[in-house]
Amino acid sequence: MTWNETDAAVICEGLTKHYGAKVAVAGVDWVVPKGSVTGLVGPNGAGKTTTLKMLIGLVHPTAGRARVLGLDVAADDLAIRQRTGYMAEDDALFRWMTAEDALKFSRLLYPAWSDQVARETLDLFGLPANVPVAKMSKGMKRQLALTLAVAQRPELLILDEPTSGLDPERRRDFLNVILKSVAAEGATVIMSSHQLHEIERVADRVAFMREGRIVRESDLDALKEASRRIRVIFQGDPPADLAQWPGVRRVEADGRLHILHVSDVDAVTARLKTHNPFVVEVIEQNLEELYFETARREEERP
**Shortest separation between residue 274's beta carbon and another protein, angstroms:** 60
- The number of residues that bind another protein (CB under 8 A) is 26
Asked if 96 touches another protein (CB under 8 A), the answer is yes
**Shortest separation between residue 138's beta carbon and another protein, angstroms:** 13
Nearer to another protein (CB atom), residue 32 or residue 145 = 145
**Residue selected from 56, 66, 207, 209 as contacting another protein according to rule CB under 8 A:** 56
Please choose, from the candidates 1, 32, 13, 4, the residue with its C-alpha nearest in 3D space to the C-alpha of residue 204.
32
Beta-sheet pairing, 279-283 with 248-254: unpaired
**Shortest separation between residue 54's beta carbon and another protein, angstroms:** 9
- Measured between alpha carbons, how far is 249 from 129 in angstroms, rounded to an integer? 58
Nearer to another protein (CB atom), residue 90 or residue 299 = 90
Nearer to another protein (CB atom), residue 109 or residue 283 = 109
Asked if 95 touches another protein (CB under 8 A), the answer is yes
- How many alpha carbons lie under 13 Å from residue 297 in its C-beta half-sphere? 11
Largest CA distance in the chain: 74
Using a 10 angstrom Cβ sphere, with 0-12 exposed, 13-18 middle and 19 or more buried, the burial of residue 157 is buried
Binding letters toward another protein, positions 63-92, x by CB under 8 A: ---------------x--xx---x-x-xxx
- Measured between alpha carbons, how far is 174 from 193 in angstroms, rounded to an integer? 13
Nearer to another protein (CB atom), residue 31 or residue 145 = 145
**Shortest separation between residue 78's beta carbon and another protein, angstroms:** 5
3-state secondary structure of 183: helix
Please choose, from the candidates 278, 277, 289, 244, the residue with its C-alpha nearest in 3D space to the C-alpha of residue 262.
244
Asked if 131 touches another protein (CB under 8 A), the answer is no
Please choose, from the candidates 176, 154, 158, the residue with its C-alpha nearest in 3D space to the C-alpha of residue 50.
158
Beta-sheet pairing, 156-160 with 188-192: parallel
Residue 252 per-residue DSSP state: E
Beta-sheet pairing, 188-192 with 37-41: parallel
User: Restricting to residues 99-128, which ones interact with another protein according to CB under 8 A?
Assistant: 101, 104-106, 108-110
Nearer to another protein (CB atom), residue 78 or residue 240 = 78
Asked if 203 touches another protein (CB under 8 A), the answer is no
Asked if 60 touches another protein (CB under 8 A), the answer is yes
**Shortest separation between residue 80's beta carbon and another protein, angstroms:** 9
Q: Which residues bind another protein (CB under 8 A)?
A: 53, 56-60, 78, 81-82, 86, 88, 90-96, 101, 104-106, 108-110, 145
